[in-house]
Amino acid sequence: MEPLREVGGRAIPFGAKNVDTDVIIPARWLKTITRDGLGRGAFETLRSDPDNLFDSAEFKGSPILIAGDNFGCGSSREHAAWALLDLGITAVIAPSFSDIFSGNAFKNGILTVVLPQEAVDRLMEVAKTDPITIDLEHQSVTTPFQDRFTFEIDPFRKHCLLEGLDEVGLTLARDVAIARYENDAATALPWLARTGQSLGEHTA
């Protein structure tokens, strides 16, 4: 997972409320065995409209999505987060998120920013013409017009995103402590150590 400290650029002023995971990535895309290419299916129904925001010359490839209340509700499919990443989105701003989606997004390196509706409305207006910047370290969203909105984030999630640590990375970061524990356990609890013997074998 890549470290995420700042996300800046044009933001897609989507704004829709109660967008469920089937809208983000329809069920027919769940048969894939790879994450690659899921961006083609992201918001597929909406993108059937040739005037959709996601494929417009102005917003295509934007790293930020601005949404409405309860973004990511519905099923627990992690494909929703994978599809957003494959579409190039690394941060979503909304007044609220589904808990499961928010967790999946975090585990895949997507920053979910919760702001009051008034702040979201203002960012929607700015996004139509100008870029915005999300600073994770200082927990702020700013615009070229001196707007500055601060947001809260769980300290553990913030640390993981800043350092680019997913679950595997967190485990590897503890490799010295894990090795020390295993060595100590082998000394203190030798009957638990397997030294070439399989279960059921006995020494003579």
What pLDDT sits at residue 204? 45
Q: Which residue has the higher pLDDT, 92 or 203?
A: 92
Split at pLDDT 50, 70, 90, the class of 35 is confident
Greatest alpha-carbon span in the chain: 81
Exposed e or buried b per residue across 67-84, where buried means at least 16 C-beta atoms within 10 angstroms of its C-beta: bbbbbbbbbebbbbbbbb
Split at pLDDT 50, 70, 90, the class of 18 is very high
| C-alpha dihedral, 29 to 31 to 36 to 40, nearest 10° | -20
174, HSE (Cβ side, Cα atoms, 13 Å): 10
Which two three-digit tokens encode residue 77?
């499919």
What pLDDT sits at residue 167? 66
What are the distances in angstroms from CA 161 to CA 39, 151, 152, 180, 202?
22, 15, 14, 27, 49
The secondary structure element, H or E, covering residue 141 is strand 140-142
What pLDDT sits at residue 98? 97
- The mean pLDDT value for 158-174 works out to 78
Q: What is the overall mean pLDDT for the chain?
A: 90
Q: Where are the domains of the chain?
A: 6-171
Tell how far CA 82 is from the center of its chain.
8
- The mean pLDDT value for 163-181 works out to 71
Query: Of 13-27, 41-55, 186-200, where does mean pLDDT reach its minimum?
Result: 186-200
CA–CA separation, 170 and 165 (whole Å): 6
* pLDDT (tens digit per residue) in 83-110: 999 999 999 999 999 999 999 999 999 9
- The mean pLDDT value for 148-171 works out to 88
- Classify 150 as helix, strand or coil: strand
Q: Is the pLDDT of residue 177 over 70?
A: yes
Split at pLDDT 50, 70, 90, the class of 200 is low
- Classify 177 as helix, strand or coil: helix
Split at pLDDT 50, 70, 90, the class of 171 is low
CATH number of 6-171: 3.20.19.10
Q: Is the pLDDT of residue 175 over 80?
A: no
